[in-house]
Amino acid sequence: MQPDWIDSFLFLFLLLIFIYVLAVNNITTLHKVYLAFHSLMMIWPFSHLLMHIVPELRFQWFFLNLAFAGLCFLGLGWLVFALVITKKIDEQKRSTLYLYAVPSILSAVLVTTNPWHYLFAIPSGYSWTIRIYGPLFWVFALSGLFYLILSTNLMLRTARTVAESNIKKQLSLCIRGILLLIFFSVFDVLLNVIVYPYTRVIVPGLTSLGIAVSAVCFVISIRKYDLFRIINAAQREVMDNIDTGIVVLDRDRLVLDINASAAKFLNIKPGQIFNASNVLEIGELFNDKAKSLQTEIKRHDGQIRHVTVNVSPVTDDKDKFLGRIITFNDITEIQILLEQIRVNNFVLQKQNQELLAVQEELHKANQKLRQMSITDELTNCYNRRYMLGHMTDEIAVAFRYKIPFSIMILDIDRFKLINDTYGHLVGDDVLRGVVGAVKKNLRRSDVVSRFGGEEFIVYAPHTDRLGALSLAEKIRLTVENHTTRIYQYCLRVTISIGLISFNDWSAETRPVEKILEDLLTKADKALYRAKANGRNCVVAAD
């Protein structure tokens, strides 16, 4: 058999395997890798076929260069296929994959530049069909051997660690294919490169035979152990078991695939035309953009279900429109839950409003209780307990910032006589009238409180002795001129005032409570002196 027909036969054999793989399998990522790898395997015998057909040296060199360049990248293809079949491809960094390609690229460059240096090969006589190899050939051979050894080692390590017997057998067949390719390639080099200068005998087709035998090993591995079919079955299983209904359409709305969840809503099969107006009122969603719609659909069993329908266009890498994917998500249970949540929210909102009303009433009641706890019920001014606490705090601040202040004690003159003459109700009116007259002369910072019976206290911050005397005199005159109407009579009363002012901060080291007690005692004594001086007057303590 002539050398060109040996390579021709092996090329046709590889081509038939290629067509067979295409015919019996759906295309997946693993298929794509294998088919690219298989294409590289076919380059060698095909190029040798063409090289034996054409007589001119330049065309022969072109096809020989194509053959060796294909072999350069065949080793890299072996490695990539090994990474995919062992599921290690995703673990590789992009930079690592680029690094793996360096020996292939370098070998291809050395082969392609041969006509300039003839260090790779030179023709024997007037044809490239018989050639003598130079030193760069061994760089090419070592590069290919490197890839084959690396791929074999990767598969061996994976076969040792993987638990599934099918995968072990798959990898075992692939390893045998690599070893057979190495055997025939080394045998080819031994006979046609090393021994040829001595024997002048060419044994054709050895490398092509090794490639063909390794391809057969891969095809047996693929078909016998369902390497591709398992992937397709797993994809189908996933499609049919997800809750989301999926319909795949081509550009003409022909149904390419429909899963079990979508079949519950749509009485349609692959190969039929998807008529949106007849099946669902979603015709307006069919455009080049993704859109969604929430609607109601009656299933085959008569149930009305709430679904969300999403129509998304499918495009290729160049944004060319290929078809559409329609997804159906049953949200009936979610709708029921949302309705229940809305009802619960309404009830909660009503309860919250009632709680807010109760809280408002409690707040007002607390405010009223607090006001009652610090206010004298009769005169509506502060009571004794609040006033003592307030003055304690104010005096502490005054001492810190050295602010003068004054304290006045007011007492209604002959108030017992009023109660005895007119009764306690009139006395209460008189007390309220006196408080009103006092408040007319006070500033916002001044505080008045009922200290007990007909006695009141006024605390005046930021007030020295002269200011306190002036304020006390105004209060006295206002009360004196105030009239309380009793039946057909008008009643007037007077008050006596004892006051004390404080602005000496140097020698005072006692607690605030003691200081306040001392100041009240002195102011009370001043009040008694005012009573002794004839009443209706103001007396300041020293």
Using H for helix, E for strand and C for coil, what is the string for 244-294? CEEEEEECCCEEEEECHHHHCCCCCCCCCECCHHHHCCCHHHCCCCCEEEE
The sign of the torsion formed by the CA atoms of 73, 78, 82, 85 equals positive
Backbone φ and ψ for 157, nearest 5 degrees, come out as: -65, -40
pLDDT in tens, the chain (542 residues): 444 456 656 665 666 676 566 555 555 556 666 666 667 677 777 777 777 787 777 777 887 788 888 778 877 877 887 887 777 777 788 888 888 888 888 888 888 888 888 888 888 767 777 777 888 888 888 888 888 888 888 888 888 877 667 777 778 888 888 888 888 888 888 887 888 777 777 777 787 788 788 778 777 776 665 555 555 556 666 777 777 778 888 777 778 788 877 777 777 777 777 765 544 545 555 555 555 555 656 555 556 777 777 788 887 767 777 788 888 777 777 777 888 898 899 899 999 999 999 999 998 888 888 888 889 989 999 999 999 999 999 999 998 889 999 999 999 999 999 888 888 888 999 999 999 999 999 999 999 999 988 999 999 999 999 999 999 999 999 999 998 887 777 889 999 999 999 987 776 678 889 999 999 999 999 999 999 999 999 999 97
Rounded CA-CA distance 243/87 in Å is 28
Contacts of range 272-276, beta carbons closer than 8 Å, 24 or more positions apart: 274/247, 274/249, 274/326
**Confidence (pTM):** 0.42
Rounded CA-CA distance 57/230 in Å is 49
Q: Which residue has the tokens 């004839």?
A: 534
> CB neighbours (10 Å) of residue 333?
10
Rounded CA-CA distance 517/469 in Å is 21
* Domain 384-540 superfamily per CATH: Reverse transcriptase/Diguanylate cyclase domain (3.30.70.270)
Rounded CA-CA distance 248/284 in Å is 18
3 state SS of 296: strand
3 state SS of 323: strand
pLDDT confidence of residue 32: 63
Distance of CA 465 to the CA centre of its chain: 70
Rounded CA-CA distance 503/499 in Å is 14
Rounded CA-CA distance 153/147 in Å is 10
Q: Are 495 and 476 in contact (CB under 8 A)?
A: yes
pLDDT confidence of residue 2: 46
Q: Are 107 and 30 in contact (CB under 8 A)?
A: no
pLDDT confidence of residue 292: 58
Largest CA distance in the chain: 157
Rounded CA-CA distance 8/45 in Å is 6
Q: What six digits make up the tokens of 117? A: 């240096």
Rounded CA-CA distance 239/260 in Å is 8
3 state SS of 117: helix
How many CA atoms are closer than 13 Å to the CA of 274, on its beta-carbon side?
30
Q: Which residues fall within 8 angstroms of residue 432, CB to CB, at 6 or more apart?
A: 378, 379, 380
pLDDT confidence of residue 299: 55
Rounded CA-CA distance 263/315 in Å is 25
pLDDT confidence of residue 242: 75
Q: Which run of H or E residues covers position 64?
A: helix 57-85
Distance of CA 40 to the CA centre of its chain: 45
pLDDT confidence of residue 3: 47
* Domain 243-330 superfamily per CATH: PAS domain (3.30.450.20)
Strand order in the sheet with 495-502: 447-452, 455-461, 405-412, 495-502, 538-540
Domain range annotation of the chain? 3-234, 243-330, 384-540
Q: Which residues participate in catalysis according to the annotation?
A: 454
First to last CA, the chain: 143
Enter the CATH code of domain 3-234: 1.20.1070
pLDDT confidence of residue 525: 95
